Amino acid sequence: MFAELNSILNTSPDSFKPGEFILVSDKHTDASFLIHHFLSFYLRAGCKVCFLGLVQSFSHYSAISQRLGVSLTQAREKGQLVFLEGLKESLGVLLQASKGTRTMDFLRDPSSGLRGLYDFVRDNVRGAVGGAEEWGPPVLLVDDLSVVLSLGVSVGAALDFSHYCRATVCSELQGSMVMLVRCEAEEEEESDDEGSERLLRGLIHQCSLTLQVQGLPTGYCRDIHGQVRWITLFVCVCVREWKKREKEIACYM
Amino acid sequence: MLLEVLQGTEAGGFILIQDSVNYCGRHLLKSCINAALKREEVVHVLGFEVSQEELNDGLDKTSAQRLHFHNAYSDPLGWTGNSPFTVHQFTLEDIGTLLKQTPQAKAVTLVIDSLSWILRHHDPAAICQKLQALKKGGVVRAVIGLLHSDLHQRGTVGSICHLATSVITVAPGTRGLGAFAKITRRTKSGKLMQDEEIFSINEDLTVTIQSKRSHPGSTPMNTDESEVDPTANLTFNLRLSDTQREAKEKLPLPFVFSKEKKSALLHPGTGSGRILYEPDANDDYDQEDPDDDLDV
């Protein structure tokens, strides 16, 4: 969890706005540091976190979270964190080792959409009634949603999935949602609407806060790693430049 | 013209609000709903994109009984099995059934939030046919739809715009000056009217027009000029005062051979050095000036 980001967003693990859908997008750079930030933020806030890790292994996030002061292994054992290890599950689907779960069905049949993935989310955010510990509002984290496009899933199916997650997690259960979308650095074409740009636009229409992380327009710089635009309610609130340090990020106006 | 469109809807009207990621048209849509409620009309909302709480937030509470929200937000595709309204039910028969739930003699305004959701799951041509039938059929008095123009192809957006009697395209205005709206209105006689206005939406969802005919294309240039000023915030001065600028413009360039330079070279003033030459015995001294044949 990065303290400076908290002060810019005016939130803290003790007080944050419920029902938020935060969209993180990146272009020409890597915004996964924000996912690590939100993961440790919500775990510290005592929320029940459902993490769809589609691009990295559990140990990757665990190692980074350790440096941010949060133990993912402990959280998983306690039942606070439910982690879908996409890479491991996909191997099972492709080798037909596990037939029971429909979560990663879209790998076999991309045209069927992400309904199986939504069912997984729905079953895990509601939480066990009468469980050992009472957790805070549920949180869904997705890293990252644009990878399903390269697996053959259509933009419409991805938008349907995010809509359903928002309806369940944010509106019904008053929880929060953070999704990462990566944009390919290609030129926009009028005719080619199927792509990460269209997915990004669709998600911007759905979300309440967008954090757009980009490389600096002037090019590579050793000291400044990029710039972030905060957009809420379609109004760009501020643009900050950021630099990633060991355990903190520094933001400059 | 924006206020006229919001206030008066003739029968068979179809108002389309087009927005993009840069500016959300939902606030204007809520203004339309509020205006219809204040006119004592019955409003039916097909809500696909936002929940009922989010849509009702800010609307006139006193006319709440005239507002009917049909929840197509929580399960628009029927995944849970007990959905109140799905996107596949966007047909004349099903909409007619919905409207019959509230039997009123008064005219009904149908609000669709949003058309983009429906267009993602239906063929655009079929949607156009249904919208046309809704307009003409007399089931509803007016239709108001929200469309995210940057989520569809130009042809689809154009087709929907052609059906509409009024199209309001919203875009962000310059900072602090509200939003920009471009309105295109088609009367029944076929006359086309266009207007551009800067507007803002107040807390009670009424619309205030701030100015007219201010193109958003011109303003970004001005803001760019005022933003990027390289001579500001430096530790040294890069600017010129007026006298300095005049002196700079008067200065001749170093390699331009002007008349003054030529005369200065050919006729050196007093006090400049003279050359005294005493020829040696071996020198071949020619009295003639070797530069005589030069044409300067």
Task: List, for residues A121-145, the tens digit of each pLDDT value.
Answer: 998 888 654 445 678 889 999 988 9
Q: What is the pLDDT of residue B221?
A: 43
| pLDDT tier, B160 (very low <50, low <70, confident <90, very high otherwise) | very high
- What average pLDDT does this structure show over A189-199? 67
Between residues B214 and B120, which one has the greater pLDDT? Answer: B120
CA A113 to CA B284: how far, in whole Å?
A: 104
| Mean pLDDT over the full length of chain B | 82
Residues in chain B with CB shorter than 8 Å from the CB of A199 are none
What is the average pLDDT across B30-56?
89
Q: Does B153 touch chain A (CB under 8 A)?
A: yes
Strands A235-244 and A226-232: antiparallel
SS (H, E, C) B94-150: HHHHHHHCCCCCCCEEEEEECHHHHHHHCCHHHHHHHHHHHHHHCCCCEEEEEEEHH
Query: A57 CB contacts (<8 Å, ≥6 apart)?
Result: A85, A87, A88
Q: Does A201 touch chain B (CB under 8 A)?
A: yes
So what's the pLDDT on residue A130? Answer: 44
Query: Looking at the partner chain, which of B21, B77, B79 has a beta carbon nearest the beta carbon of A234?
Result: B21
Which of B79, B120, B121 comes nearest A115 by C-beta? B79
ipTM of the complex: 0.79
Between A214 and A152, the higher pLDDT residue: A152
Check pLDDT > 50 for residue B218. Answer: no
> How far is B8 from B35, CA to CA, in rounded Å?
9
At A180 the pLDDT is 93
Residue B148 in contact with partner chain A when CB distance is under 8 A: yes
Which secondary structure element, helix H or strand E, spans residue A235, and what is its range? strand A235-244
The per-residue pLDDT for B257 is 76
CB A27 within 8 A of CB A196: no
Q: How confident is the model at residue B249 (pLDDT cuts 50, 70, 90)?
A: confident
Q: Is the pLDDT of residue A191 over 50?
A: no
Strands (DSSP E) contained in A157-223 are 176-182, 209-214
> If you write DSSP's letter for every residue of B26-37 in order, what string do you get?
HHHHHHHHHHHH
* Cα separation, A146 vs A157, whole angstroms: 12
SS3 A241: strand
Residues 6+ apart with CB under 8 A from A5: A34, A37, A249, A251
Average the pLDDT over B23-36 and give the result. Answer: 89
pLDDT at A144: 87
- B21·A201 Cβ contact <8 A: yes
What's the rounded mean pLDDT across residues A50-77?
A: 90
Of B197, B183, B88, B99, residue with least CA distance to B142: B99
Using CA atoms, how far apart are residues A214 and A181, in angstroms rounded to an integer? 12
Higher pLDDT, A189 or B286: B286
Q: Does B173 have pLDDT greater than 90? A: no
User: Which of the listed ranges A2-16, B32-46, B219-233 does the model predict with the highest average pLDDT?
Assistant: B32-46
Residue B94 has pLDDT above 60, yes or no: yes
The better pLDDT of the pair A180, B223 is held by A180
Residue B140 has pLDDT above 70, yes or no: yes
Distance of CA A227 to the CA centre of its chain: 19
In chain B, whose CA is at the least distance from the CA of A191?
B153
| Nearest of A205, A99, A186, A109 to residue A148 by alpha carbon | A109
- Of residues A190, A198, A202, nearest to B154 (C-beta): A190
Q: In which residue are the tokens 């006139």 written? A: B60
* Chain A CB within 8 Å of residue B209 CB: no
The strand pair at A47-53 and A136-143 is best described as: parallel
DSSP B15: E
The segment with the largest mean pLDDT, out of A192-206, B60-74, B153-167, is B153-167
Chain A residue with minimum CA distance to B178: A235
CA B148 to chain centroid, in Å, comes to: 13
Are the C-beta atoms of residues B91 and B130 closer than 8 Å to each other?
Answer: yes
**Cβ separation of B151 and A202 shorter than 8 Å?**
yes
**Backbone phi, psi, residue A138, to 5°:** -70, 155
Our CA dihedral for B168, B174, B175, B179, rounded to 10 degrees, sits at -10
* pLDDT score of A158 more than 50: yes
Neighbours of B188 (CB within 10 A): 10
Question: With 50 as the cut, is the pLDDT of residue A159 above it?
Answer: yes
Confidence category of residue B100, pLDDT binned at 50, 70, 90:
confident
Instruction: Give residue B148's pLDDT.
Output: 93
pLDDT of residue A246: 53
Query: Does residue B152 sit in helix, strand or coil?
Result: coil
The model's pLDDT over A24-56, given as tens digits with 9 standing for 90+, comes to: 988 877 888 889 889 988 998 888 999 999 999
Q: How would residue B45 be classed by pLDDT, with cut points 50, 70 and 90? A: very high
- Residues 102-131 on A with a CB inside 8 Å of B are 115, 118
Distance, CA of B168 to CA of B170 (rounded, Å): 6
**E strands, chain B, in order:** 13-19, 42-47, 67-71, 108-113, 142-148, 166-172, 179-186, 192-201, 207-212
Contact predicate A219/A229, CB 8 Å? no
Best mutation target, B17, B18, B21, to test chain A (most A CBs within 10 A): B21
Minimum Cα–Cα distance from B51: chain A residue: A171
Residue of B nearest to A156 (CA): B120
Higher-pLDDT residue of A108, B19: B19
The pLDDT score that the predictor gives to residue A58 is: 92
What pLDDT is attached to residue A247?
53
Q: Is the pLDDT of residue B119 over 70?
A: yes
A54, two tokens: 């589609």
Tokens 């005062």 appear where?
B241
Residues 47-106 of B with CB under 8 A from A: 49, 51, 53-54, 73-77, 79
pTM above 0.90, yes or no: no
- Cβ neighbours, 10 Å, residue A65: 20
Furthest CA-CA distance within chain B: 132
Confidence of residue A160 (pLDDT cuts 50, 70, 90): very high
In angstroms, the CA A48 to CA A175 distance is: 9
pLDDT at B230: 78
Looking at the predicted structure, is the pLDDT value of residue B248 above 50?
A: yes
- Which B positions 164-183 lie with beta carbon below 8 A of chain A? 172
Q: Which helix (H) or strand (E) holds A162?
A: helix A155-165
Contacts of A10 (CB under 8 A, 6+ apart): none
The secondary element (H helix, E strand) that includes residue B156 is: helix B154-163
> What pLDDT is stored for residue B224 in this prediction?
47
- The percentage of chain A sitting over the pLDDT mark of 70, rounded to a whole number, equals 73
**Is the pLDDT reported for residue A189 higher than 60?**
no
Cα B49–chain centre separation: 23
Taking each helix axis as running N to C, give the angle between helix A155-165 and helix A115-125, from 0 to 180 degrees, rounded to the nearest 10: 10
pLDDT of residue A243: 58
- The helix/strand/coil state of A61 is helix
A69 interfaces chain B, CB cutoff of 8 Å: no
State the average pLDDT over residues A170-197. Answer: 76
Q: Cβ of A164 under 8 Å from any chain B Cβ?
A: yes
A230 touches chain B (CB under 8 A): no
Pairs across A and B, CB distance < 8 A: 48
Tell me, what's the pLDDT at B222? 45
Q: How many residues in total does chain B contain?
A: 296
pLDDT of residue B116: 93
Can you spell out the DSSP letters for A193-212? --SHHHHHHHHHHH-SEEEE
Backbone angles phi, psi at B123, to 5 degrees: -70, 130
Residues B25, B201: Cα–Cα separation, whole Å:
11
> Across residues B217-236, what is the average pLDDT?
61
Which residues in A lie closer than 8 A to residue B170 (C-beta atoms)?
A: none
- As a whole number of Å, the CA-based R_g of chain B is 37
**B102 or B15, which is more confident?**
B15
* pLDDT score of A250 more than 60: no
Handedness of CA B282, B284, B289, B290 (dihedral sign): negative
Distance CA A183, CA A186 (A): 8
Predicted local confidence at residue A129, as pLDDT: 45
Q: How many CB atoms lie within 10 A of CB A100?
A: 6
Question: Is residue A97 pLDDT above 80, yes or no?
Answer: no
Q: How far apart are CA B170 and CA B17, in angstroms?
A: 7
Q: State yes or no: pLDDT of A248 exceeds 70.
A: no
More confident residue, A224 or B91: B91
Query: What's the rounded mean pLDDT across residues B190-206?
Result: 86
Rounded to a whole number of angstroms, the distance from the CA of B154 to the nearest CA of chain A is: 8
Q: Is the pLDDT of residue A253 over 60?
A: no
